[in-house]
Amino acid sequence: MEKSVVNQSTIRKADPVSLLKKNAMLIILVLVFIFFTVMTRGRMFNPNSFAALINQNAYVYILGCGMLMCMLTGGNIDLSCGAFVCLLGAMGGMMMVYWGMGTALSIVALLALGVAYGCGLGALIAYVRVPPWIATLAGYLAFRGLGTAILGVSSTNSISFNNNPDFLNIFSGTLFRTPEGELNWPCMIVGIVGAALVVLLIFKNRTTRLKKGYEVDQLGMDVAKCVLGAAAILLVMFKLAMSGGIPTTLVWVGIVVLFYSFITSKTTIGRHFYVVGGNIEAARLSGVNTKRIMFIAYLNMAVLTTIAAMTTMTRFTAANADAGKNFEMDAISACVVGGVSASGGAGTVLGMVIGATLIGVINLGMFQVNLDANYQRVVKGFVLLAAVVFDILSNKKKS
């Protein structure tokens, strides 16, 4: 008797309005992309634009994952990550160029620096209970100053990594490079495998849910999801294949994004982040070590900042005093546009990725239509506001 009840899955009806609301940002992203493709007479759709989008925004995706974890715990943010990128760049330059440490040793040392800062910051926030805002504001003020002071060893205030090809190859460049305009097969194969995996995962998820008697979407919805997801991946990978191959940064971004999607959706610790953000007192009383969660959030952020710093250093092939400026704002914007709640407890990695891509597309599009740099800032500001207002209004009606 009981068993038959358990086995009955209800099928979630898809009504167009809620569907539209749920995928609002995705739809906006597609519309914006089409808009700029028309405005640039197709230039936006060139293979090079896809590669540029990924290379220019790699740091946003990576930092966005870290910022997401911080924001989940209750709308906490890290203001210091941009300045820390600058400091790490300066330290990396000293290690590799001035002290002649090997590439591997330098990377390990930089990671150690990140871990050390993360532990210090995490301890201050979680155990001393300094508000995250202020604890990271101190880093924001101090690190750029320190980084610039260190870069003062060079007369140009910049240290070049051109003599460290190993380092550059690990974090920048292209895998299995082929000439532009020629189809790069390794890239295409990765795309096909990726698309197949998406289809597989969606259907595996569906069968599991059916077996456990959870609510499922209509079959047509899942098929549509498969088709769209696979098509998007294939399109991006095809464009990248035509531009010469997989950008190395995409590998790093992919690893980070997949890892954090897994953590946030499938693991206990990931759920704890949401619980802490939803109601920290309730979380504590249910036995979640809330202090440890806060500590991990900031330790994690510092480690991701280190990875973002290395992709930034290699992208510019140099460590500069300006590196990392406004990175914190970009990461926060990506999260918020992607639907991460500014008061914690809600948000997904996929949402953040959509948010980051939307901002990236707008930036690149405005650049390609030669919009005045000043108006670019104005547009960016209003898009950010509009996205959040839209999000708030659509959620308000739901509840």
**Binding site residues, another protein, CB under 8 A:** 75, 77, 124, 128-131, 133-135, 137-146, 148-149, 152, 329, 332-333, 336, 342-343, 372-378, 380-382, 384-385, 388-389, 392-393
Measured from the CB atom, is 46 or 394 closer to another protein? 394
Q: Give min distance, CB of 388 to another protein, in A.
A: 5
Helix H segments across 316-348? Answer: 327-337
Question: 154 — phi, psi (to 5°)?
Answer: -100, 140
Q: Give min distance, CB of 114 to another protein, in A.
A: 18
Measured from the CB atom, is 177 or 377 closer to another protein? 377
Measured from the CB atom, is 250 or 294 closer to another protein? 294
Q: Give min distance, CB of 35 to another protein, in A.
A: 20
Question: 26 — phi, psi (to 5°)?
Answer: -65, -45
* CA–CA dist 308, 80 (Å, integer): 13
Measured from the CB atom, is 3 or 398 closer to another protein? 398
* CA–CA dist 57, 331 (Å, integer): 10
Structure-token pair, residue 343: 């008061």
Q: Other C-beta atoms within 10 Å of 179: how many?
A: 7
Q: Give min distance, CB of 381 to another protein, in A.
A: 3
Q: Give min distance, CB of 376 to another protein, in A.
A: 7
* CA–CA dist 223, 197 (Å, integer): 14
Measured from the CB atom, is 74 or 245 closer to another protein? 74
Q: Give min distance, CB of 126 to another protein, in A.
A: 12
Residue 28, helix vs strand vs coil: helix
* DSSP string computed for 33-100: HHHHHHHTTTGGGSHHHHHHHHHHHHHHHHHHHHHHHHHHTTS---SSHHHHHHHHHHHHHIIIIIS-
* Half-sphere exposure at residue 126, Cβ-oriented, CA atoms within 13 angstroms: 20
SS (H, E, C) 199-267: HHHHHHHHHHHHHHCCCEECHHHHHHHHHHHHHHHHHHHHHHHHHCCEEHHHHHHHHHHHHHHHHHHHC
Q: Give min distance, CB of 167 to another protein, in A.
A: 25
Measured from the CB atom, is 5 or 128 closer to another protein? 128
Q: Give min distance, CB of 377 to another protein, in A.
A: 3
Measured from the CB atom, is 129 or 177 closer to another protein? 129
Measured from the CB atom, is 98 or 382 closer to another protein? 382
